[in-house]
A and B are shown apart, each in its own frame.
Chain A
């Protein structure tokens, strides 16, 4: 018989797990940094999800688990409610199958077994206790070469006393200590050691030694970590790992699957300079407001428009350090850029910005509506329909509030507004129903402006997939264009004379923006 239980994780739960496991990766414990990730928030560690899932097993079953296989399909954010469905396997005696669902999608699958899995018995290499490195308190940031060609590494490991509180919080006190410890340790490996800072835990096979299944973890354990495989197309890593006691017996053996996410760097000004014939001195053309412009495509388009001679007013919600670097990247044109920390959803702040521009006698030649929310993969079910609607409302707010404030300032004779949509609207991805619905609503707003603010040239931009923070996901950057190529292409179209009044849809192919 299967049963189901709902769970909600708080940031405090994550912080307690970080103390227990030693996994202090910013994606889990630093809300401000994590807000800029592809997930838009901190993420509940996969190993913590697994412990909570084991806590839904009957006590007898939880006590007997000696190996498990985990597969993660999507992140769980703190404050959201997920459901765990658990039941004995109908296909393998003594095994249990567990699924954690949220956003209308299965986000974690687990098979837990009484027997130790043969496939986790790989031996990672020779031991050399003398070369034991200390546990990290800040995550590693190895280069690709350091990841791929590194010899096995040996690192001390000490589980925190907090693990017992974590287990109690999620009803997992019956689970063998070595299983709990193995999960916490695997989280530490990915988040702190290999690949560390940009690591994303995606799968695990874990087995524990029979003699290690009971009792309190002995101090002085060491980790032996070997990268078995690295895929340069996707950043996928396969790691063979053992946790060995001070006495030399294997406490946990693991095959870990994870990804190294690509950090989003600053845009390259050299790749954004217009053709010599189109270049104009910075500040020689009209003012453009870029909403959501401190990083990624917004920052690249800002620099490209600067090259075409525009003055820029850029708003950003949280990435202050990016905004400072954007001004520095403008070089000689830095005096033509002003940045404001304004959340695009904040009506009062947007009105204040509009009032300031009006008082200074400014008119806007251009307005770029680029602020957007990262889309987490979602399935469309009756239950997730409400989440889809909430995403849609928040996304529309990011465009509607600045549009409402600044539309009266846009020049009715030669002004333009860019609505940053997506080519995903032409080929909606299976797990992004909320994203395409939000972009569809944005395009509806563009049509409204064209009809009701005649004279303004309305541009709906549907760029191909780009390498931004939003696509810094496993495989997210495959076949993606650089932000510079799309921004340079777009700025050239905006500077040309071929935009008509009404709506112009720009949907360049990958080949066009690269040309």
Chain B
């Protein structure tokens, strides 16, 4: 898996699915810039990313504070 337009689009769709339409997704976005990104939202994000990309992310994806950029890196690092 590589980071191309289709990867970014799939990522955007997951975030829109969780947080609603019209999100401007930059790598810096995280809990500090998005009120809806709480611990429950992070569980939903990880679950949706795992389902969408067919992979299992490490526990740190759930345990530690993430950002859009760090989640993208985790998805790419754990893809088959």
Bound together: yes
A103-111, A127-135, A302-310, A394-402: which one contacts chain B?
A103-111
B4, CB-defined interface residue at 8 Å? no
User: Are B32 and A475 touching (Cβ within 8 A)?
Assistant: no
**Contacting residue for A106 out of B21, B35, B43, B62, CB 8 A:** B35
A92 at the interface (CB under 8 A from B): yes
A89–B21 alpha-carbon span in the complex (Å): 10
Q: Which of A58-98 contact B (CB under 8 A)?
A: 71-74, 89, 91-92, 97
- Whether the pair B20, A73 counts as a contact (CB closer than 8 A) is no
**Chain A interface helix/strand/loop/mixed:** loop
Instruction: Verify A73–B38 contact, CB threshold 8 A.
Output: yes
- Which of the 9-residue segments A136-144, A228-236, A243-251, A441-449 touches chain B? A228-236
Q: Which residues of B contact A97 (CB under 8 A)?
A: 20
Using CB atoms, name the residue of chain A closest to B36: A106
- CB pair B20–A474 under 8 Å, yes or no, is no
For window 44-73 of B, CB contacts with A under 8 Å fall at: 44, 47, 51, 59, 62-63
Q: Which of A73, A92, A231, A478 contacts B47 (CB 8 A)?
A: A231
Are B63 and A479 in contact (CB-based, < 8 A)?
Answer: yes
Q: How many residues of B contact A (CB 8 A)?
A: 20
Q: What is the CB-to-nearest-CB distance from A71 to chain B, in angstroms, rounded to a whole number?
A: 8
Assess whether B32 is in contact with A234, with CB atoms less than 8 Å apart: no
CA distance A257 to B51 in the complex (A): 14
Q: Given A73-B40, A91-B21: A478 and B35 within 8 A (CB)?
A: no
Whether B40 and A475, one on each chain, are in contact in the complex, defined by CB atoms closer than 8 angstroms, is yes
Contact A478 B20 (CB under 8 A): no
Quick check: A234 and B21 within 8 Å, CB to CB?
Answer: no
Residues on the B chain within 8 Å of A231, using CB:
47
Cα A111 to Cα B35 with chains together (Å)? 18
CB neighbours (8 Å) of A267 from chain B are none
Number of A-B contacts (CB under 8 A): 56
- Cross-chain contact B21 with A474 (CB below 8 angstroms): no
Q: Is the interface of B mostly helix, strand, loop or mixed?
A: helix
Q: Does B59 lie within 8 Å of A479, measured CB to CB?
A: yes
> Is A199 an interface residue when CB atoms closer than 8 A count as contact?
no
Interchain CA distance A71-B38 in the complex, whole Å? 12
Pick the residue among B21, B22, B36 that contacts A73 (CB under 8 A).
B36
Most buried by B among A71, A72, A97: A71
| Interface residue A323 (Cβ < 8 Å from any Cβ of B) | no
Q: Are B32 and A430 in contact (CB under 8 A)?
A: yes
A203 to B62, CA, bound (A): 19
- Which among B35, B40, B62, B63 is the interface contact of A379 at CB below 8 angstroms? B35
Interface status of A387 (Cβ within 8 A of chain B): no
| Smallest beta-carbon distance A427→chain B, Å | 9
Q: Is A377 an interface residue (CB 8 A)?
A: yes
- Asked whether A236 and B43 contact (CB < 8 A) given A478-B59, A478-B62, A479-B63, the answer is yes
Interchain residue pairs with CB less than 8 A apart (12): A71-B18, A71-B44, A73-B38, A105-B38, A106-B36, A202-B40, A233-B62, A234-B62, A236-B43, A236-B47, A430-B32, A474-B43
Apart from the given pairs A233-B62, A431-B39, A476-B39, 7 other A-B contacts in the complex at a CB distance below 8 Å: A71-B18, A89-B21, A92-B21, A105-B38, A234-B62, A431-B38, A475-B39
6 tightest A-B contacts by CB? Answer: A91-B21, A479-B63, A475-B43, A234-B43, A478-B63, A430-B31
